[in-house]
Amino acid sequence: MKTISLVLGSGGARGYAHVGVIRALEERGYEIKGIAGCSMGALIGGFYAAGKLDDFEEWVSTLSYLDVLKLVDLSLLSSGAIRGDKIFALLSEMLGSVKIEQLKIPYTAVATDLTNQKEVWFNSGPLEQAIRASCSIPSVVRPVVMGNRLLVDGGVLNPLPIAASIAVHADHIFAVDLSAEVPMPEGSLKETQAMKMSHEQEKEGWFAQVRNKAMSFLDREPAQAQAELDANLSKLGVMYQMFDTMQASLTQYKIAGYRPDLLIRIPKNSVSIFEFYRAEAQIQLGYDIALQAIKAFEKGEANTYGQL
């Protein structure tokens, strides 16, 4: 059996594509001997290494737009940040009290230590804690405090942690870039546009609920509450756009420094950060692109990796 060390990059909801990539690798007969991941890559990789990816996929595939909004704990009328307590409590329950050293394969989650300005590689200790630290997007998701360290998303310094996979004894290193400047398949693009339109009504209803809640607790006028809500949503979007742009640039440097044997490219415009209700479509996209890239790799067509 062909063996690989798998690197899963950072990229918010685009990270659902990692599930499809893993499914394609399994179908083609590859054995994953180790995983290194950042942010959503650390999350998906952790569930796979813990033998819980099927449970995760089944759950996320049922999430609706409103389900996601209820889970992310938006403090929209204060700081505009995401607390994340609900979602991480649920993920922790799904994973159980498993430690990284107990996983079936070597696993590394990459976070950033803001206090000491360096990368932190988690390859031991509680899995849930490592995932949470790796997923804490600066100014969007609350950071994790561990001792004298303030830990945030690994994408600040290393959105595609290829170096963390080198020690794994495998035939090849495969990496998944979630920030690639490649086009969306035509069918997927049409589906994305249709889904966005269908969620507008849900969004308007949710705005009304949040606004009314703000009025009752804070004694604010509807217009004032709506204005604050809109401002904080816009602020979150701008902050993540800045972070995402930085990650895309850093990813290219990491690829140049540590060229993987196969680079699977997921379109940067496939979904936006908060579209966690689009799991099924994104998983399928990851599967389709990975399958094409893997077949090209097996034929020695290095220039076609992940291209559409």
Structure-block tokens of residue 193 = 């546009």
In the three-class reduction of DSSP (H, G, I as helix; E, B as strand; rest coil), residue 46 is classed as helix
Per-residue pLDDT of the chain (308 residues; tens, 9 = 90+): 899 999 999 988 999 999 999 999 999 999 999 999 999 999 999 999 999 999 999 999 999 887 887 776 655 444 445 667 788 888 999 998 899 999 999 999 999 999 999 999 999 999 999 999 998 877 667 788 888 899 998 888 999 999 999 989 999 999 999 988 888 876 654 455 445 545 555 555 544 554 455 445 445 555 555 555 555 555 556 666 666 777 777 788 788 888 999 999 999 888 876 788 999 999 999 999 999 999 999 988 754 544 44
State the DSSP H helix or E strand holding residue 22, giving kind and residue range, or none if neither. helix 17-27
Question: Any idea which residue has 């949503």 for tokens?
Answer: 233
Res 223: pLDDT: 59
Structure-block tokens of residue 19 = 């599930």
Q: What is the distance between the alpha carbons of residues 269 and 168, in angstroms, rounded to a whole number?
A: 32
What pTM did the predictor assign? 0.83
Which residues are the active-site residues? 39, 153
Q: What is the distance between the alpha carbons of residues 42 and 9, in angstroms, rounded to a whole number?
A: 8
Res 65: pLDDT: 81
Q: Are 235 and 80 in contact (CB under 8 A)?
A: yes
Q: What does DSSP say about strands 107-113 and 149-153: parallel, antiparallel, or unpaired?
A: antiparallel
Give the CA radius of gyration of the chain.
19
Closest by CA to 184, choosing from 264, 255, 263, 271, is 271
Amino acid at 135: C
